[in-house]
Chain A
């Protein structure tokens, strides 16, 4: 750092790539139209389980406009994709059909309509097999094996102390089981990839995707070509939230294989229904928790069993299992913890990464139980949380100790200072009021999920402007703006002169996946380092020009300035030009490597993440006892983010994440019967509209994180979990009845009111 106060980092700035978006100039993948371009459309199994006996192509090939049909045999490579080896998911089904959305054949045609007609005309023969649709069936004795190794995808344990013994001795014990449903990402742009065969034996894939290098690796493997033959370019991506990974790979391979066979560009653009049926969801879950505490409210032990319904394929299940495992005990100091976390295969659409990544499920369960414990102890729910909150120097559930950047207590105290909203006069006694709290933590970085390295380049041109390149993607979350701010800050140049390039796998270093709230933290650190290295080089040059020691110079507003005499200044463009002519390097590649996770694989004790984001939320609601309608009166979202880089971006992340959490907790439900999703459209799957928005207020705690740029920690994921959990607690507070299943819909609330289960409401007691 310059040693001076920050000038650009921490300021409210506009999105650096925003103009193209508000003017409609930004190109998303489906906005590209190339000469000779073909359209691809997959035929899906349409039934959840079975044996694929064969696909006859003839009828499809007769449809005017249909150019080619691909089945599994036509793919040049292993026909296998996944996240963690051994991979288990075919691109096109071979023998077993494992979910209804499974692609069995891929039709390419001159128009989208012809491709669709071709897909419908295919003669696909599948022998039905009784589907396994619940985790209980899947785990039952003698259950049919969905995959060769059985129906358990992945299972891990976390063991700290002796939870059984501590629970047996605990004066107060609560136990309950909680469930959550699947959730669809519902990004507004459906998944889209465009493969373009090059004249040089290479192939370029433009993709709406989250992790271009993951795409490149799997596309190359499945084409049986070296990775360098494939170039993946991330187009503008219309939202991802974790979702555009597996499916971007799947359609990328299909498009690329067809492009190579036909020698023509092939576009695959999912329809909304396909986006819901044929790409991953948030895991449904069942979580049983037992908590033991002293009479004073000190938690002594938690025992937790998590079962995640992962659907037909592993996808990110192993990592979601781990994340749920590590976060389930909550942001509390608990001496004895036992957690078992298991993902299970079923014949349903597969589950994978979705903003929060296992944490929303366990936070809902854990925080519901905190309220139940508070009720049993006769204690204020926030006080109970405060007593147990992790403080600097405390050991987390994995035994990891953070000496700093543990701002949970401060977040709770912010909430305590905020007065509750006033209840308006209600002579008709029509409304019930309630307030709910939640506390949570979310690990930053890949942590136990793998090594975490980002390589970033910063290049200064002779005009003094800078170009930043790294392999982490802009998905709407504002990471380009954050990187631009960091580069501008370090180089002392105006923000407008920094460009953060589009990611393509030819031109940037593999930076791993854009996940785990790691963009700001690990990515930002790499940009910072690269910028500093370039700056050193420019300082050397400026020192020669100003004939002084480089310690005497600082950069600001595009000038190299002499500290002693700020009137002595040279425009940086002159310094950069001189540096160019004298061979002072103007570009650097720098790496930021998060400290490696070190832990015991049997007990998950050890250091897992480089930092945690801590959050405390409060939500006050009003329920209409006649209609069951919920109105959120206030939603406070306090997070320890280490250091705010761009307040506008931060608020955007917190507000947007919160509404996804609210939709998850109150509105969104995948309706499935006999293994088929019945509401795969926006009319029947209720994504929150502008009328459903909630008045989220972002409150910030800045406990500097030594592993992030300027002390920053990511914030992309945490609000989802915290909002869902405090919503459930607010409803319980209003109605006097606990719901143990998400979502808690308006119908659920109305039913509770009408049946008399709601002790605070109901028809009679007024």
Chain B
């Protein structure tokens, strides 16, 4: 079957077989390997992407459901000038990345949160990231990073 959707700002038209997962289309067909597979069952969050702004486990999503949507993956997060998104920068600055396998999914979940709630409380972060497992960091620095990114984005807004 044919599907068309927008991915990281670009229009896509693909021929897929109906049982394909969105994860496989993104990784195998489009080469967006920043989308990770940690469990394939919706239990780890490594494959999180934004579909129409909402965080989704792409391992559970049939590719057919991408039809007509706007998809954002970690690869689409850098600004046009190549500089890092405030979340990416904050994850680096705060030491919230160790092996980095959870990082793309974690950042996408955090992005969905900040889009919705620009000044989150710690509880909001916990809620938003509760489906993303990280085995390396102990999460403390991830919480700090999201807080920091929120502050930075806020400053950015005030600066104009």
Residues of chain A having any CB pair with chain B under 8 Å: 14-15, 18-28, 30-31, 33, 185-190, 236-239, 241, 271-272, 475-478, 648-649, 651-652, 655-660, 681-683, 687-691, 693-696
Contacts and interface: CB of A to CB of B under 8 A. Distances in A.
28 contacts: A14-B95, A15-B97, A18-B97, A21-B100, A22-B89, A23-B34, A24-B35, A24-B75, A24-B104, A25-B34, A26-B100, A30-B33, A30-B37, A187-B135, A188-B99, A188-B101, A188-B136, A189-B99, A238-B100, A241-B135, A272-B38, A272-B40, A656-B137, A659-B138, A690-B126, A690-B134, A693-B138, A693-B143
Contacts of A27: 33
B5 interface: no
B88 A23 contact: yes
Given A188-B136, A655-B141, A656-B137, 9 more contacts: A14-B93, A15-B95, A24-B33, A26-B100, A27-B33, A239-B99, A682-B39, A682-B41, A682-B44
A27 B104 CA distance: 13
A655 B138 contact: yes
B154 interface: no
A649 B95 contact: yes
Interface string B121-160: 0000110011111111111111100000000000000000
Given A21-B100, A681-B43, A188 B77 contact: no
Nearest to B93: A14
A22 B130 contact: no
A378 B33 CA distance: 60
Contact of A693 (B38, B98, B140): B140
B86 to A, nearest CB: 11
B84 A22 contact: yes
B36 interface: yes
A174 to B, nearest CB: 33
B137 A188 contact: no
B66 interface: no
Contact of A687 (B100, B133, B141): B133
B22 interface: no
A22 B97 contact: yes
A716 B37 CA distance: 26
Contacts of A657: 138
Contact of A476 (B91, B98, B125): B98
Contacts of B77: 23
Contacts of B73: 24
B92 interface: yes
Contacts of A476: 98-101, 136
A14 B130 contact: no
Contacts of A18: 91-92, 97, 100
A239 B101 contact: yes
B139 A24 contact: no
Contacts of A189: 36, 38, 99, 101
Interface string B18-46: 00000000011001111111111101101
A539 B119 CA distance: 53
Contacts of B38: 188-190, 238, 272
B74 interface: yes
A36 B40 CA distance: 24
Contact of B103 (A22, A475, A656, A690): A22
B107 interface: yes
Given A14-B93, A23-B77, A649-B95, A655 B137 contact: yes
B31 to A, nearest CB: 8
A189 B95 CA distance: 19
B79 to A, nearest CB: 11
Contacts of A237: 99
B117 to A, nearest CB: 16
Contacts of B133: 186, 188, 682, 687, 689
Contact of A21 (B103, B125, B134, B135): B103
Interface string B47-89: 0000000000000000000000000011101100000100011
A691 B95 contact: no
Contact of A238 (B32, B33, B41, B99): B99
A694 B138 contact: yes
B7 interface: no
A648 B125 CA distance: 22
Contacts of A188: 36, 38, 44, 46, 99, 101-102, 133-136
B104 to A, nearest CB: 5
Nearest to A697: B140
Most buried by B among A18, A477, A648, A659: A18
A486 to B, nearest CB: 18
A652 B91 CA distance: 12
A651 B95 contact: yes
Given A24-B32, A651-B95, A690-B132, A236 B40 contact: no
B25 to A, nearest CB: 13
Contacts of A690: 125-126, 129-130, 132, 134, 139, 142-143
Contacts of A185: 135
A654 to B, nearest CB: 8
Contacts of A20: 100
A690 B137 CA distance: 10
B130 to A, nearest CB: 5
A734 to B, nearest CB: 22
B89 to A, nearest CB: 8
Contacts of B88: 22-23
Closest CB pairs A-B (n = 7): A24-B34, A476-B99, A21-B100, A238-B101, A655-B138, A24-B74, A476-B98
Nearest to A271: B40
Given A188-B102, A683-B43, A691-B126, A22 B135 contact: no
Task: Determine which residue in A658, A682, A694, A696 has the highest number of CB atoms from chain B within 10 A of its CB, and name it.
Answer: A682
B138 A696 contact: yes
Contacts of B99: 21, 187-189, 236-239, 475-476
A18 B137 CA distance: 14
B28 to A, nearest CB: 7
Given A188-B38, A272-B39, A683-B43, A656 B98 contact: yes
B33 A652 contact: no
B39 to A, nearest CB: 4
Nearest to B94: A648
Given A15-B95, A23-B78, A188-B46, A28 B36 contact: yes
Contacts of B41: 272, 681-683
A267 to B, nearest CB: 12
Nearest to B99: A476
A146 B91 CA distance: 49
Contact of B135 (A239, A658, A681): A239
A14 B93 CA distance: 6
Nearest to B19: A113
Contacts of B32: 24
A682 B46 CA distance: 12
Nearest to B76: A24
Nearest to A646: B95
Nearest to A481: B95
Contacts of B36: 28, 188-189, 238
A603 to B, nearest CB: 39
B60 to A, nearest CB: 13
A29 to B, nearest CB: 11
A475 to B, nearest CB: 6
Chain B CB count within 10 A is highest, among A239, A681, A688, for A239
Contacts of A696: 138, 140
A18 B131 CA distance: 23
A630 to B, nearest CB: 16
A236 to B, nearest CB: 7
Nearest to B33: A31
A239 B136 contact: yes
Contacts of B78: 23
